[in-house]
Structures are given as structure tokens and as C-alpha cells.
């Protein structure tokens, strides 16, 4: 099981591969793979929460965005294993997640969206993987998205929240708790990959 897990995290890069000795590349590879796997692991919990809300009467909530995120995560992970550049994979994943979250924001209340904190997740992912310069565009895009919703709502457009009022507090708490754990998983993936690659580089260096 440990070998399988390591293969998943390392993207199938073998010690004989020249990329294996590139500590910076492998650290980014491990971080991105761990983040994708963490997001995929969070999807079943999100689906469970949405199913509960549907049973409680929140008929406007859809499983489609969650399923799209899961599919995109699998495709990005497969692309990385088959040579997709890490920077391109990161931009692709972050951009598509931002687009899906914008759709969810329109469906779940605009600036009063349940789980508003999720919209800040893509810039965090980009920052951990791309650094300050590579990730700078995503806070700008998020600011434009927030500004667009603010303009629309100030102009009279209303984004309804399709959750029964009696269940709104429980839904908000559940979504925010999931977001907190998602952020923890992303940061843990970054720190774990950095520590693992540092240990490996020391063990592989000549004494």
C-alpha cells in the first residue's frame, strides 16, 4: 500500500528518470498530486452534504459541479502522469475550479453565497504551487468576480438561495467546516511534499 501511495504522489516518476533528481520539480509534482488527491477525497463528503440538503428540501442544489470537479481532477492527474507540464496543469485546474465556483456563486446567493470562503481556495492553491508571481493573476480574477456580483446586485439583480430557511444555519456550518478541512489538506500536502523531497534529496546525495 505504501508503494502504491508513493506512486500516486510521485506521479509514476521512477528513480531512473532524470526528473527524479530535480528536487524543485518533484516537490511541485508531489504537492500538485497531493492537492488533487485531497480535493478528490473531499468530493464524496461534499456530495453527502448536498444529498442531505436535497432531502431537506434544497432542490436547487446540483451535484453536477461537484462531479465536474472530480472529473477534472482525475483528468489533470492523468495528464500529469503522461507529461502535462506542472505549470500548465496548475493553471488549468485553478482556472476551471474558479469557473465552477463562480457558477455556484450565481446559483447559491451571489455575494451572500453559502460557503463564500470556497471562492478563496483557488488563489491559495495557485500560491502554493506557482509562487507569488505565478499566482498573482488569480486574486485579480477573484476581485473582478466579486466586483461583478457586487455590480449586478447593486443594479437590482437578485440571486436566490435555494435552501429552506430552517436549514440555512446547518448548511452554512457544514459547508464552512468542509472548506476549513480542504484548506488544511492543501497546506498539509504542500508541507508534506516539501519535507519528503528534502529527506529524499539528503538520502540520495553522496556522503
**Would you state the torsion angle of the CA atoms of residues 89, 95, 100, 102, taken in this order, to the nearest 10 degrees?**
170
Looking at per-residue pLDDT, the higher value among 103 and 43 belongs to 103
Looking at per-residue pLDDT, the higher value among 123 and 54 belongs to 123
> Residue 72's pLDDT band (boundaries 50, 70, 90)?
confident
Is 60 exceeded by the pLDDT of residue 198?
no
> What does the alpha-carbon distance between residue 79 and residue 68 come to, in Å, rounded to a whole number?
16
> Has residue 12 been placed in a domain?
no
Residues 143-177: tens digit of each pLDDT: 999 999 999 999 998 888 777 777 778 777 877 88
Is 60 exceeded by the pLDDT of residue 205?
no
Q: Is 36 exposed, middle or buried (0-12, 13-18, 19+ CB in 10 A)?
A: buried
| Residue-level pLDDT at 60 | 46
Give DSSP secondary structure letters for 158-195: -----S-GGGHHHHHHHHHHHHHHHHHHHHHHHHHHHH
Contact 62, 68 (CB under 8 A): no
> Has residue 16 been placed in a domain?
no
> Residue 49's pLDDT band (boundaries 50, 70, 90)?
low
> Has residue 196 been placed in a domain?
yes
Is 80 exceeded by the pLDDT of residue 99?
yes
> Has residue 15 been placed in a domain?
no
* Cβ contacts of 80 within 8 Å, gap of 6 or more: 11, 29, 32, 33, 86, 89
Question: What domain count does the chain have?
Answer: 1
Q: What percent of the chain has pLDDT over 70?
A: 69
Is 70 exceeded by the pLDDT of residue 66?
no
> Residue 10's pLDDT band (boundaries 50, 70, 90)?
low
Question: pTM score, two decimals?
Answer: 0.68
Least confident of 61-75, 94-108, 111-125, 135-149: 61-75
Q: What percent of the chain has pLDDT over 90?
A: 8
| Residue-level pLDDT at 146 | 92
> Residue 57's pLDDT band (boundaries 50, 70, 90)?
low
> Has residue 11 been placed in a domain?
no
Q: Structural domain of residue 123, as residue ranges?
A: 22-204
> Has residue 111 been placed in a domain?
yes
| Residue-level pLDDT at 149 | 92
| Residue-level pLDDT at 106 | 86
Nearest to 48 by CA among 186, 174, 183: 174
> Residue 191's pLDDT band (boundaries 50, 70, 90)?
confident
> Has residue 2 been placed in a domain?
no
> Has residue 77 been placed in a domain?
yes
Amino acid at each position: 500500500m505504501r508503494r502504491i501511495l508513493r506512486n500516486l504522489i510521485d506521479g509514476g516518476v521512477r528513480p531512473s528518470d532524470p526528473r527524479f533528481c530535480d528536487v524543485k520539480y518533484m516537490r511541485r509534482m508531489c504537492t500538485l498530486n497531493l492537492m488533487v488527491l485531497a480535493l478528490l477525497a473531499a468530493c464524496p463528503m461534499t456530495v453527502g452534504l448536498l444529498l442531505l440538503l436535497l432531502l431537506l428540501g434544497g432542490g436547487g442544489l446540483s451535484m453536477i459541479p461537484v462531479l465536474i470537479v472530480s472529473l477534472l481532477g482525475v483528468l489533470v492527474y492523468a495528464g500529469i502522469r503522461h507529461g502535462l507540464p506542472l505549470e500548465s496543469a496548475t493553471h488549468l485546474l485553478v482556472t476551471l475550479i474558479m469557473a465552477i465556483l463562480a457558477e455556484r456563486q450565481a446559483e447559491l446567493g451571489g455575494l451572500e453565497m453559502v460557503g463564500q470562503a470556497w471562492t478563496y481556495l483557488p488563489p491559495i492553491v495557485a500560491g502554493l504551487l506557482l509562487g507569488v508571481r505565478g499566482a498573482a493573476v488569480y486574486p485579480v480574477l477573484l476581485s473582478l468576480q466579486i466586483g461583478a456580483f457586487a455590480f449586478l446586485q447593486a443594479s437590482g439583480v437578485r440571486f436566490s438561495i435555494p435552501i429552506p430557511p430552517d436549514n440555512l444555519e446547518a448548511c452554512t456550518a457544514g459547508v464552512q467546516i468542509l472548506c476549513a478541512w480542504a484548506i488544511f489538506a492543501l497546506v498539509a500536502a504542500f508541507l508534506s511534499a516539501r519535507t519528503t523531497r528534502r529527506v529524499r534529496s539528503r538520502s540520495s546525495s553522496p556522503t
